[in-house]
Amino acid sequence: MKPLEECRLYAFVDTAYLAGRDPVMVAEQLCEGGADLVQLRAKDLSAGQIEALAERILPVTRAAGVGLVINDHPEVALRVGAELCHLGQEDFFDAGHRHVSELRPPGSSLRVGLSTHAPEQALRAVAAGADYVAVGPVYPTGTKPGARPVTLAYVRWAAEHLQVPWFAIGGITLENVEEVLAAGARRICVVSAILRAPDVAEACRRFRWHLDRAGRVP
């Protein structure tokens, strides 16, 4: 995969949005459309089922030079050889972790991303060694129905203060992506606006067009 700093479009194989489609096929479409990272998010599956699915998806992402992110399960990421894992605040800090190095065995190159919903959480994540942080949810989103939107104000704060790679996430669509980019984001995570599109690969390409138009990653 390309260096994390150069990754801009972060897409998802989210089992809640597949509507009966083969997750491997969806992963292929995301890679074809230009996703830099693909997260496997499967809240409805056991760790064993996620591991089996990750083993099917990993050859697809590897062949495309795309990083595979395992949500919630660093142990699964380590076993299958995924490049990254992603954890929420409750899965990391509330679980007693203080630094991402605790999740990496000696010699492991696993990278860890953390969700953040406020500046103080972002600063804490950076201090904990997060390789990247997610900033959101920017807008209301069905992916996190109970989460309060952080609005573009947090995106602007991140653009001014964060030195690690960060991705705006939450309710980003082709209709509002320009607002997010104008606020300073140069990396975005997109779930439903891609997975619910009639053509997944084309939806990725359209988001990439906006990202490329916005200019280089700072």
77-112 tens-digit pLDDT: 999 999 999 999 999 998 999 999 999 999 999 999
Confidence of residue 152 (pLDDT cuts 50, 70, 90): very high
Q: 144: annotated binding-site residue? A: yes
The size of the chain, in residues, is: 218
Q: How high is the mean pLDDT of the chain?
A: 95
Confidence of residue 216 (pLDDT cuts 50, 70, 90): low
Region 151-159: what's the mean pLDDT? 96
| Residue 103, token pair as written in the block | 């999740």
Backbone angles phi, psi at 40, to 5 degrees: -90, 110
Q: 116: annotated binding-site residue? A: no
Percent of the chain, pLDDT > 90?
89
| Residue 15, token pair as written in the block | 């089992």
| Helices 119-127 + 151-161 axis angle, to 10 | 40
Residue 218: pLDDT over 60: no
The alpha helices in 34-128, defined as continuous H runs, are 47-64, 74-80, 89-92, 119-127
The pLDDT value given to residue 100: 95
Region 155-176: what's the mean pLDDT? 97
Positions annotated as catalytic residues are 41, 115, 144
Q: 151: annotated binding-site residue? A: no
Q: 208: annotated binding-site residue? A: no
Give the angle subtended at the CA of 202 by the CAs of 181 and 150, to the nearest 5°.
30
The pLDDT value given to residue 214: 87
User: What Å distances lie between residue 44 and 12, 40, 53, 167, 214, CA to CA?
Assistant: 15, 12, 13, 25, 36
Q: 41: annotated binding-site residue? A: yes
Strand partners, 86: 71, 113
Q: 2: annotated binding-site residue? A: no
Superfamily of domain 4-214: Aldolase class I (3.20.20.70)
Residue 145: pLDDT over 80: no
Q: 199: annotated binding-site residue? A: no
Confidence of residue 14 (pLDDT cuts 50, 70, 90): very high
Preceding peptide of 149 cis, ω within 30°? no
The pLDDT value given to residue 217: 61
